[in-house]
Amino acid sequence: MDMAFRSLKSLLVLSFSMLTMLFSNNLLAQDSTHNNTAHTQETHEGEFNVTETILGHIQDDHSWHLWGHTSLPLPVILYTDKGIECFSSANLMDEHHHPKAYQGKYYTYQTFKGKLKVVNTDSTINTELSSKVWDFSITKNVAALFISMTILILVFVTVAKSYKKRGEKSAPKGLQSFIEPIILFVRDEVAKPNIGHHYAKYMPFVLTIFFVILINNYLGMIPFFPGGTNVSGNIAFTLALAIIVFLVVNLNGNKSYWEHIFWMPGMHWGMKLFLAPIELIGVFARPISLMIRLFANVTAGHILVLSLICLIFIFKTVFASAISVPFAVFIGLIEALVAFLQAYIFTLLSSMYIGMAIEEHHTAGDHDPHYNED
Residue type, 347: T
pLDDT digits (tens, 9 = 90+) for 99-145: 889 998 899 999 887 789 999 988 889 889 888 899 999 999 999 99
Distance CA 16, CA 225 (A): 14
pTM for the complete prediction? 0.78
pLDDT at 327: 78
How many CB atoms within 10 Å of residue 26?
Answer: 12
Residues 166-225 have pLDDT tens digits of 776 677 777 888 898 999 999 999 999 999 888 999 999 999 999 999 999 999 888 778
What pLDDT sits at residue 176? 83
Contacts 24+ apart (CB under 8 A), 142-151: 143/64, 143/74, 144/216, 144/219, 144/226, 144/229, 144/231, 145/216, 145/231, 145/237, 147/219, 147/226, 148/212, 148/215, 148/216, 148/219, 148/231, 149/212, 151/215
- Looking at residue 318, its pLDDT comes to 74
- 100 touches 110 (CB < 8 A): yes
| Residue 31 predicted with pLDDT over 80 | no
Q: What is the pLDDT of residue 48?
A: 67
pLDDT bucket at 71, cuts 50 / 70 / 90: confident
Q: How far apart are CA 212 and CA 232, in angstroms?
A: 9
Extents of the domains making up the chain: 75-137, 141-363
Whether 2 shows a pLDDT value over 50: the answer reads no
H helix intervals, the chain: 2-36, 50-58, 127-130, 140-166, 175-185, 192-195, 199-221, 235-251, 255-262, 269-315, 318-358
Looking at residue 22, its pLDDT comes to 38
Task: Please give the residue that has the higher pLDDT: either 153 or 65.
Answer: 153
Q: What local confidence, expressed as pLDDT, does residue 147 receive?
A: 94
| Percent of the chain with pLDDT strictly greater than 90 | 33
Cis amide linkage into residue 172, ω under 30° from 0:
no
User: What is the DSSP annotation of 86-128?
Assistant: EEEGGGGB-TTS-B--EE-SSSEEEEETTEEEEB-TTS-B-HH
Task: Give the pLDDT band of residue 374 (cuts 50, 70, 90).
Answer: very low
Q: What is the per-residue pLDDT for 312? A: 78
Q: How many other C-beta atoms are found inside a 10 Å radius of the C-beta of residue 205?
A: 17
Q: Helices 318-358 & 2-36, crossing angle to 10 degrees?
A: 120
pLDDT at 42 over 50: no
> How much is the pLDDT for 146?
94
> What is the rounded CA–CA span in Å between residue 240 and residue 351?
17
**Alpha-carbon distances of 315 from 48, 288, 308, 348, rounded to whole Å:** 11, 40, 11, 43
Closest CA to 220 of 231, 208, 209, 235: 231
Percent of the chain with pLDDT over 70: 83
Q: What is the mean pLDDT of residues 72-97?
A: 89
